[in-house]
A and B are shown apart, each in its own frame.
Chain A
Amino acid sequence: MIKSKVTHTDIVKFDEQSPVSAVFAGSTGRVFGMTLAMSIDPVEALRVEATSCRVRVLTQRHTSPTVLDDVVERSDIIENIKNINVETTEKYNEFLANDVLAERNFTIASVINLYSEDLAYNYEMRDILTVTRSLPELDVATIKSKTGKKFIRSATQILPDKTFTYSDMEVFFDRPNMPVDLVMFRSLLATFAKQAPFFQKTLSDVMHYPFPVNDTLAMYRDNRTCPYAESIQGVGLSYLSDEDFRLPLAVDVDTDVDPFFVLDSKPGGGAGPRGVGGAIDQPDPQDVPVSPFSTLSTAYGYLTAYNDGEPEDIFVSKRQLKRLPFRQKFTVVAKKQVPRNVTVEALLMNKNGVIVSKLTKDVNLIPLMVDSSRPMIPPDVTVGMATGDDQTDSLMVTMVQRDIMANKVQLLVKESTTLPFSDLGVYDLVHSEELTLKILSNEIVELVTVRVVALTNKGRTSSAFSDIVWQAGGGTVSESYDGVPKQSNPQKTTGLIAMARPLIRDDGLFDVTITTAIVSDGIATDPDASSLYGTLFCRRLNVYNGDTPGGVADEGGGTYVTDPTNPAIHLDTSPGGSFVDRGVSVGTYLYVVDAYAGDEAFVNVARSGTVYLDHLTPDKDGFVKDAVDVSYAIQSVDTVIGPKNLDVSIMYDITIPKGKRIDIALLESSVDVVLPDLSVESISLASKAPKLTDNNDGTYILNFCVAHSDMSPAMAIAAQKGALRVSKSQLVVGTFPVVSDAAAGANVDSPLVTASQRKLTPQARKRIMQRRAQRGGTDVEAGDGRGRFESEQATEAAQLEAAAAATAMIIRGGRG
Chain B
Amino acid sequence: MALVRLEEDDEAYEAVEIPAMFDPDVDLKAAYSIVSPSLTKIRRISIGRNSLGEAVLRWTLDDRTSATETCIVIATFNGVTAPLGAVASIPGVSRYEFADRVLSAYVGKKTYRIAFIYYDGTVSMGDRQVSITKSSSISLGVLKWE
Q: Is A324 in contact with chain B by the CB < 8 A criterion?
A: yes
List, sorted by A's number, 5 A–B pairs whose CB atoms are closer than 8 Å.
Answer: A186-B124, A204-B70, A214-B78, A419-B120, A762-B8
A135 to B143 alpha-carbon distance, docked (Å)? 10
Instruction: Please name all residues of chain A whose beta carbon is closer than 8 Å to the beta carbon of B90 when the two chains form the complex.
Output: 410, 412, 423, 453, 461
Contact string, B1-40, partner A, CB cutoff 8 A, digits 1/0? 1111111101011000010010010001100110000000
B123: min CB distance to chain A, Å: 4
Chain B residues within CB distance 8 Å of chain A: 1-8, 10, 12-13, 18, 21, 24, 28-29, 32-33, 49-54, 56, 66-67, 69-70, 72-93, 96-109, 113, 115, 117, 119-125, 133-146
Question: Nearest-CB distance from A264 to chain B (Å)?
Answer: 15
Min Cβ gap A326→B in Å is 10
Main secondary structure of the interface of A (DSSP, over half): mixed
Q: Within 8 Å CB of B54, what residues of A? A: 225-226, 371
A-B pairs with the 6 shortest C-beta distances? A225-B53, A160-B79, A193-B121, A207-B86, A420-B119, A371-B50
Given contacts A145-B135, A211-B82, contact A437 B53 (CB under 8 A): no
Instruction: Decide: A422 and B75 in contact? CB cutoff 8 A.
Output: no
Is A483 located at the chain interface by the 8 A CB criterion?
no
Which chain B positions have C-beta within 8 A of A211? 75, 77, 80, 82-84, 102-103
Give the docked Cα–Cα distance between A221 and B123 (Å). Answer: 34
Residue among B33, B51, B70, B133 making CB contact with A367, cutoff 8 Å = B51
**Closest A residue to B97 using CB positions:** A374
Q: Given A21-B51, A143-B134, A312-B108, list of 15 further CB < 8 A pairs? A: A138-B138, A186-B124, A211-B77, A226-B101, A226-B104, A232-B102, A303-B72, A304-B83, A418-B33, A419-B120, A420-B119, A437-B6, A438-B5, A440-B5, A453-B90
Nearest residue, chain B, Cβ from A420: B119
Question: Please, which residue of chain A has its CB at the minimum distance from the CB of B22?
Answer: A422
Which A residues touch B8, using CB under 8 A? 435-438, 709, 762
**A805 part of interface (Cβ distance < 8 Å):** no
Q: Are B79 and A308 in contact (CB under 8 A)?
A: yes
A225: nearest chain-B partner, CB-CB: B53
Could you tell me the distance between the alpha carbons of A319 and B8 in the complex, rounded to whole angstroms? 62
A260 at the binding interface (Cβ < 8 Å): no
Q: Which residues of A contact B4 (CB under 8 A)?
A: 439-441
The answer to whether A18 has its CB under 8 Å from any CB of chain B is: yes
B141 surroundings in chain A (CB, below 8 A): 13, 16, 39, 323
Are A460 and B93 CB-contacts (below 8 A) given A304-B82, A443-B1?
yes
Task: Give CA–CA (A367, B1) in the complex, Å.
Answer: 43
Chain B residues within 8 Å of A173, by CB: 80
B70 adjacent to A203 (CB under 8 Å): yes
**B49–chain A nearest beta-carbon distance, Å:** 7
* Shortest beta-carbon distance from B134 to chain A in Å: 7
User: Is A816 an interface residue when CB atoms closer than 8 A count as contact?
Assistant: no
Q: A217 near B108 (CB under 8 angstroms)?
A: yes
Residue A333 interfacial (CB < 8 Å): no
Taking a contact as CB atoms under 8 Å apart, the answer to whether A160 and B80 are in contact is yes
A181 touches B7 (CB 8 A): no
Q: Can you name the residue of chain A whose Cβ is closest to the Cβ of B136?
A: A142
Q: Given A222-B53, A417-B121, A419-B119, verify A440-B136 contact (CB < 8 Å).
A: no
Residues on the A chain within 8 Å of B79, using CB: 160, 214, 306-308, 310-312
1/0 per residue, CB under 8 A from B, across A447-470: the answer is 000010100000111110100000
Contact string against B for A residues 407-420, beta-carbon threshold 8 Å, 1 for contact and 0 otherwise: 00010111111111
Beyond A438-B13, A459-B92, whether A207 also contacts B144 by CB under 8 A is no
- Evaluate whether A437 and B87 lie within 8 angstroms (CB atoms) in the complex, with A13-B141, A227-B52 already known: no
Chain A, interface size category, equals 35 or more
Query: Complex Cα distance A644/B11, Å?
Result: 11
**CB of A320 within 8 Å of the partner chain:** yes
B51 touches A226 (CB 8 A): no
- Cα distance A423–B119 when bound, in Å? 13
> Would you call A322 an interface residue if the criterion is a C-beta within 8 Å of the partner chain's C-beta atoms?
yes
The contact string, 1 if C-beta is below 8 Å from chain B, for chain A 278-314, is 0000000000000000000000100111111011101
The proximity string for A residues 1-30 relative to B, scoring 1 for CB distances below 8 Å and 0 otherwise, is 000000000000101111011100000000
When the two chains form their complex, are residues B144 and A320 in contact, meaning their CB atoms are under 8 A apart? yes
Contact (Cβ within 8 A) B137 A142: yes
Instruction: Contact check, A322 vs B143: say whether CB atoms are below 8 A apart.
Output: yes
Closest chain A residue to B84, Cβ basis: A211
Residue from B10, B79, B101, B109 whose CB has the most chain A CB atoms within 10 Å: B79
A140 touches B78 (CB 8 A): no
- Given contacts A221-B106, A435-B8, are A322 and B144 in contact (CB under 8 A)? yes
Judged by a CB distance under 8 angstroms, whether A424 is at the interface is yes
> How far apart are A451's CB and chain B's nearest CB, in angstroms?
6
Residue of B nearest to A18 (CB): B53
Give bound CA distance, A415 to B28, whole Å: 11
Flag if B74 contacts A394 (CB, 8 Å). no
B74 / chain A contacts, CB cutoff of 8 Å = 182, 303
Chain B residue nearest to A369 (CB atoms) is B51
Query: In the assembled complex, how far is the CB of residue A383 from the closest CB belonging to chain B, in whole angstroms?
Result: 14
Residue A475 lies at the interface, judged by CB distance under 8 Å to chain B: no
Checking B89, B99, B101 against A461 with a beta-carbon cut-off of 8 angstroms, the contacting residue is: B89
A605 at the interface (CB under 8 A from B): no
Instruction: Verify A303–B83 contact, CB threshold 8 A.
Output: yes
B81–A461 touching, CB < 8 Å: no
Partner of A312, one of B24, B72, B78, B136: B78
Residues on A with beta carbons closer than 8 Å to the beta carbon of B105 = 221-223, 225-226, 229
Q: Cβ of A432 < 8 Å from any Cβ of B?
A: no
Binary B-proximity of A145-159 (CB < 8 A = 1, otherwise 0): 110101000000010
**Known A143-B107, A222-B107, A226-B53: A439·B5 in contact at CB below 8 Å:** yes
Decide: B52 and A21 in contact? CB cutoff 8 A.
Answer: yes
CB distance from A710 to the nearest CB of B (A): 11
**A16 contact from B88, B134, B139, Cβ within 8 A:** B139
Residues A182 and B137 in contact, CB atoms below 8 Å apart: no
The answer to the question of A218 belonging to the interface, with a C-beta cut-off of 8 Å to chain B, is: yes
Contacts A222-B137, A376-B101: A39 and B142 contacting too (C-beta < 8 A)?
A: yes
Evaluate contact between B117 and A204: CB separation under 8 angstroms.
yes
A734 at the interface (CB under 8 A from B): no
Nearest-neighbor residue (CB-CB) of A307 within chain B = B79
Rounded to whole Å, the gap between the CB of A413 and the closest CB of chain B is 7
Q: Judging by beta carbons under 8 Å apart, are B87 and A461 in contact?
A: yes
Asked whether B1 lies within 8 Å of A415 as measured between CB atoms, the reply is yes
Give Cα distance in the complex from A311 to B117, angstroms.
31
Q: Does residue A108 face the partner (Cβ distance < 8 Å to B)? A: no
Cβ of A726 under 8 Å from chain B: no
CA distance A531 to B85 in the complex (A): 33
User: Which chain B residue lies CB-closest to A145?
Assistant: B135
Q: B137 contacts A325, CB within 8 Å?
A: no
**A368 contacts chain B at the CB level, 8 A cutoff:** yes
Residue of A nearest to B1 (CB): A443
Query: Do A232 and B101 touch across chains, with their CB atoms under 8 A apart?
Result: yes
Q: Which of A135, A414, A435, A761 makes the CB contact (< 8 A) with B144? A: A135
Is the CB–CB distance between B29 and A419 below 8 Å? Answer: yes
Q: Which residues of A contact B24 (CB under 8 A)?
A: 442
The distance in angstroms between the C-alpha atoms of A367 and B56, with both chains bound, is: 13
A160 near B78 with CB under 8 A, answer yes
- Interface set, chain A 466-485, CB cutoff 8 A to B: none
Are B72 and A207 within 8 A (Cβ)?
A: yes
Cβ of B75: which chain A residues have Cβ within 8 Å of it? 211
Determine the distance from Cα of A225 to Cα of B102 in the docked complex, in whole angstroms: 9
A172 to B70 alpha-carbon distance, docked (Å): 23
Contact A451 B88 (CB under 8 A): yes
- Smallest Cβ distance from B59 to chain A, in angstroms? 12
Within 8 Å of chain B (Cβ to Cβ): is A372? yes
Q: Is the CB of A438 within 8 A of B6?
A: yes
What per-residue 1/0 map shows which CB atoms of A680-722 lie under 8 Å from chain B?
Answer: 0000000000000000000000000000010000000000000
Interchain CB contact under 8 A, A140 and B143: yes
Report the separation of the CA atoms of residues A148 and B144 in the bound assembly, to the nearest whole angstrom: 12
Cα distance A320–B49 when bound, in Å? 27
Residues of chain A within 8 A (CB-CB) of B6 are 394, 437-440
Contact A225 B10 (CB under 8 A): no
Cβ 8 A contact of A325, one of B7, B76, B138? B138
